[in-house]
Amino acid sequence: MVRRAEFWGGLFWLAFGVFITWQGWLLELGSLREPGSGFVFFWLGLLISVLAISITLNGVRGKGPLLGELWQGARWRNVLLVILALIVFGFMFERLGFVMCSLALLLFLMTFVDPVKPVLSIPISIVAAVGVWYVLEKVLLVQLPKGSWLEGLPLVG
């Protein structure tokens, strides 16, 4: 039972449903004549909870794949690396600026996730990062972070 994906998926959504129901209650249900801000949240939370219970019960009955089977033969290390890279990117985006951050992200992905020869990865990363920056900043006039740590440098300043 506890090894079934359905069981854990259902439990996650059950927790979410209960939380939404509670939030709806806190937001005020109002009346049928004048439904309050929490009216729809409350009923949707209940609906989510009921559906989640039915999914959890499927898991309890042994239906659906085992949790381990979902990642069988998968290169899950790649997934972790990409998520990690994106989170680091998010935190450094405003500090290092678009060009440096994108360059680092592209090089990292093409070196550690699915390796590409440096003779290709380096020029592609530079052309893509600088090219996108040029099109957005200069042509489309979209403001991109310049990098608070790099203020004053010629490319970003």
Partner 1 sequence: MDVLAGLAQGFAVALDPINLLYCFIGVFIGTLVGVLPGIGPISAMSLLLPVTLSGTPESGIIMMAGIYYGSMYGGSTTAVLVNIPGEAASVVTCLDGHEMAKRGRAGPALGIAALGSFVAGTFAIIALMLVAPILAKVAVAFGPPEYFSLMVLGLTILSFLTQGSMAKALLMAAVGVVIGLIGLDQINAMPRLTFDRLELVDGIGLVPVVMGLFGVAEILSNIEQQIRRDIVQSRIGSLWPSRDDLKASAGPIGRGTILGFLLGVLPGGGAVISSFASYAIEKKLSRTPERFGKGAIEGVAGPEAANNAAAGGAFIPLMTLGIPPNVIMALLLGAFVIHGLQPGPLMMSQNPGIFWGIIASMYVGNIMLLVLNMPLIGMWVQVLKAPYKILFPLILMFCIVGVFASGNAVFDVFVMIGTGLLGYLMRKFGYEAAPLVLAFVLGPMLENNLRKGLILSEGNFDIFVTRPISLACLVVSVLLLLAPLLPALRKKREKVALDVTE
Q: Which parts of this chain interact with partner 1 (CB under 8 A)?
A: 5-6, 8-9, 13, 16, 20, 23, 27, 31-35, 37-41, 44-45, 47-48, 51-52, 54-55, 58, 64, 70-71, 73-76, 78-79, 82-83, 86-87, 89-90, 93-94, 98, 102, 105-106, 109-110, 113-116, 120, 124-125, 128-129, 132, 136, 140-145
Could you give phi then psi for residue 145, rounded to 5 degrees? -60, 135
> CB of 60: closest distance to partner 1 in angstroms?
14
Using the minimum distance from each CB to partner 1, give the nearer residue, 2 or 32.
Answer: 32
Structure tokens at 60: 């309890």
> CB of 153: closest distance to partner 1 in angstroms?
20
Cα–Cα dist 89/102, whole Å: 8
Residues 6+ apart with CB under 8 A from 39: 24, 29, 30
> CB of 155: closest distance to partner 1 in angstroms?
17
Cα–Cα dist 62/53, whole Å: 14
Using the minimum distance from each CB to partner 1, give the nearer residue, 71 or 157.
Answer: 71
Q: Please report, for residues 7, 48, 58, 88, 125, the alpha-carbon distance to residue 4 in angstroms, rounded to integers and kept in the order given.
A: 5, 20, 9, 32, 42
> CB of 132: closest distance to partner 1 in angstroms?
6
Strand, coil or helix: what is 66? strand
> CB of 149: closest distance to partner 1 in angstroms?
15
